[in-house]
């Protein structure tokens, strides 16, 4: 691949419809981008197995980043000499041990971890069933949970976790306990690798819809926000749409691609 445009994209609520997880209306445009040698990298809280199922539906092989920046996969598809896997996070068992040992019991009791729920409640919380639910539960680095405490308790939980050198990230449906990594950290790692392996200019687009996407959006030249005005980014190239996924994704990426084309013409 010889890529000058790189798109990091969240999946749920950004490329995949929030309720039904479909993305049929974006498939044609994704293939068009791929034909132009644009590199698309899913960067999501989803597990490796979940993303593999998504790529199977898309019928494409792509590099991807799993579990909120915990692991980078398939970078060798860009260049054979690059590694197939780069792990940035410690395992979930190590993280949970630190978390349980150093968190007040009254706050611990407010954390309803998904893996402990009945299958019925797991489906209700995650909106998944069957193979997709099983793939979601096969986590190596993170523990999704619902927090049932007060805002003050939640703030205390977030502050304490940060001091412990671990993190809690808020997604659309759940909170995720994991290592002190994020989507932005993994994005920067990929960008650095690509810049070290190519001489031409690299333009980056990031698409997200939630607070756990903020670090990724901030690392990109063209941050694209789907249906969430609460996300604030100080970047003159930011693009916002009220349209939900998947058509919102198509809308913002097309606008970003137009900006890149205009920039290239001006600097040509």
5-88+182-266 has which CATH code? 3.40.50.1000
CA-CA distance, 14 to 245, in Å (whole number)? 5
Q: Tell me the torsion sign for CA atoms 182, 127, 111, 120.
A: negative
CA gap 71, 78 in Å, rounded = 16
CA-CA-CA-CA dihedral for 32, 33, 34, 38, to nearest 10 = 160
Q: Treating both helix axes as pointing N-terminal to C-terminal, what angle do 130-137 and 119-126 enclose, rounded to 10 degrees?
A: 90
pLDDT score recorded for residue 1: 43
Residue range(s) in the chain whose domain bears CATH number 3.30.980.20: 92-179
Give the three-state DSSP class for 245.
coil
Q: Which residue has the tokens 């993190």?
A: 167
Q: Whole-prediction pTM value? A: 0.95
CA distance to 12, 62, 70, 122, 145, per residue, from 173 (Å): 10, 25, 19, 11, 9
Q: Which of 24-38, 144-158, 167-181, 188-202 has the lowest mean pLDDT?
A: 188-202
Predicted pLDDT at 172 = 81
Residues 239, 226: Cα–Cα separation, whole Å: 9
Tell me the average pLDDT of the chain.
Answer: 94
Radius of gyration for the alpha carbons in the chain, expressed in angstroms and rounded: 18
CATH number, domain 92-179, options 3.40.50.300, 3.30.980.20, 1.10.540.10, 3.40.50.1370: 3.30.980.20
Domain span(s) for CATH 3.40.50.1000 in the chain: 5-88+182-266
Q: For 18-72, how does the pLDDT look when each residue is reduced to its tens digit (9 = 90+)?
A: 888 889 999 999 999 999 999 999 999 999 999 999 999 999 999 999 999 999 9
Checking phi first, is residue 132 left (phi over 0); if not, alpha (psi -120 to 50) or beta?
alpha
Are 116 and 200 in contact, with CB atoms under 8 Å apart? no
The pLDDT tens digits for 206-227 are 999 999 999 999 999 999 999 9
Lowest mean pLDDT among 48-52, 79-83, 180-184, 200-204: 200-204
């Amino acid at each position: 691949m010889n890529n000058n445009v790189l798109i990091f994209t969240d999946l749920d609520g950004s490329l995949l419809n929030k309720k039904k997880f479909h993305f049929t209306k974006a498939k044609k445009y994704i293939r068009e981008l791929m034909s132009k040698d644009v590199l698309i990298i899913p960067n999501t809280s989803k597990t490796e197995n979940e993303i593999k199922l998504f790529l199977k539906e898309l019928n494409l092989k792509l590099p991807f980043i799993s579990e909120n920046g915990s692991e980078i996969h398939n970078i060798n598809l860009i260049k054979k000499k690059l590694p197939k896997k780069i792990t940035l996070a410690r395992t979930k068992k190590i993280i949970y041990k630190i978390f349980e040992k150093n968190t007040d019991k009254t706050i611990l009791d407010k954390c309803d971890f998904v893996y402990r729920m009945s299958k019925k409640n797991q489906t209700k919380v995650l909106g998944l069933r069957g193979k997709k639910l099983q793939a979601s539960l096969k986590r190596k680095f993170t523990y999704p949970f619902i927090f049932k405490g007060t805002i003050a308790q939640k703030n205390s939980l977030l502050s304490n976790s940060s001091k412990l050198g671990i993190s809690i990230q808020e997604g659309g449906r759940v909170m995720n306990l994991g290592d002190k990594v994020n989507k932005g950290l993994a994005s920067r790692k990929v960008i650095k690798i690509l810049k070290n392996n190519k001489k031409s200019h690299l333009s980056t687009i990031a698409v997200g819809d939630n607070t756990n996407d903020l670090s990724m959006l901030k690392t990109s030249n063209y941050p694209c926000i789907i249906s969430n005005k609460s996300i604030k980014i100080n970047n003159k190239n930011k693009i916002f749409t009220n349209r939900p996924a998947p058509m919102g994704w198509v809308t913002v990426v097309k606008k970003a691609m137009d900006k890149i084309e205009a920039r290239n013409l001006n600097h040509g």
